[in-house]
Amino acid sequence: MATCSTSPVAIPAPPPTRRSPPRGHGVRYGADGQILGVTVINARWLLDRDGHFTITLPREVRVDAHDLAGR
């Protein structure tokens, strides 16, 4: 005799959306549009060359080398 389960089934969340802003850094967004993470491309090279890098999200975020010192 077959039995039926009434336990809830978990539906997996959709994978994050990945977008590449103008400067080439990768930004991952969740299903709700919130930023989940940022991948900075060539961070060390940009810091050595310019002393900062900029990420364009809904607004620009500038990260200076001294902001990352000792981390």
Measured distance CA(31)–CA(54) in Å, rounded: 25
pLDDT digits (tens, 9 = 90+) for 9-43: 555 555 655 555 555 677 888 888 888 888 888 88
Burial of 65 (0-12, 13-18, 19+ CB in 10 A): middle
Measured distance CA(64)–CA(22) in Å, rounded: 19
The helix (H) or strand (E) run that includes residue 43 is helix 43-50
Write down the domain spans for the chain.
17-68
Measured distance CA(30)–CA(37) in Å, rounded: 9
pTM of the model: 0.51
Q: Tell me what the pLDDT averaged over the chain comes to.
A: 74
